[in-house]
Amino acid sequence: MAEAVTNAGALIGVAKLKDKDEGTFLHSLAVSALMIIFARSLGLKEESVRLFGSGGLIHDIGKITLPIEVLQKSGALTSEELTIMRMHPVQGYRMIASIPGIPKAILDICLHHHEKFDGTGYPHNLGGNDIPYVARIAAICDVYDALSTIRAYKRAWSQAEVIDAMLSSRGHFDPEPLKAFVSRMIIGDVIR
Ligand SMILES: [Fe+2]
């Protein structure tokens, strides 16, 4: 029952996100799919796989609260706009925290998917294992899809370019799951 309530609450939010910003909606679908495939490849139980998928779907839900001109700006963001943009994990967390029975894993993904392994991310500057494991996985899937996707300000990078950038982005990701992502999802040819 809790899961049904969670899914209903989350899906209403995701439908609203589609109306507000189709790009973020499509990105959320892609991250959800990557999370599911990656969680399965790690041998996690089906219940966890579902949580990873739901978390991916709603990780950017807080972007609903942001001004559309910031969300869809094609050029670089000013420092003021960047501050607004960086509010989306906390805003999203606030939106879903009141859903009865919402699993902690989903809250963690929503709040912490922009933390970095070296502690330089946001919103809480968590580092290493202080970042919930699900959020460390979400960070990998999130950035993989963002870099692979064409944007107003950049072309879509090839898979090799994306992996190169992620592997050389020292301090951003948990090295262990990143290694697993590359070997199982890329070398294992799961993603094309
Ligand atoms: Fe995000």
pLDDT score recorded for residue 13: 80
Is the pLDDT reported for residue 129 higher than 80?
yes
Q: How close is the Cα of 59 to the center of ligand 1, in Å?
A: 6
Predicted model pTM: 0.92
Would you call 57 exposed, middle or buried from its count of C-beta atoms within 10 A (0-12, 13-18, 19+)? buried
Is the pLDDT reported for residue 45 higher than 50?
yes
Q: How close is the Cα of 52 to the center of ligand 1, in Å?
A: 15
- Residue 155: pLDDT band (50, 70, 90) is confident
Tokens of 24: 């973020």
Q: How close is the Cα of 56 to the center of ligand 1, in Å?
A: 10
pLDDT score recorded for residue 190: 65
Distance CA 87, CA 177 (A): 26
When pLDDT is averaged across residues 69-76 and rounded to a whole number, the result is: 90
- On whether the CB atoms of residues 66 and 84 are closer than 8 A, the answer is yes
Return the SS3 of 7.
helix
Average pLDDT, the chain: 91
Q: pLDDT tens digits, residue range 1-19?
A: 445 545 666 777 888 888 8
Q: How close is the Cα of 43 to the center of ligand 1, in Å?
A: 26
Domains and CATH numbers, the chain: 2-187 (1.10.3210.10)
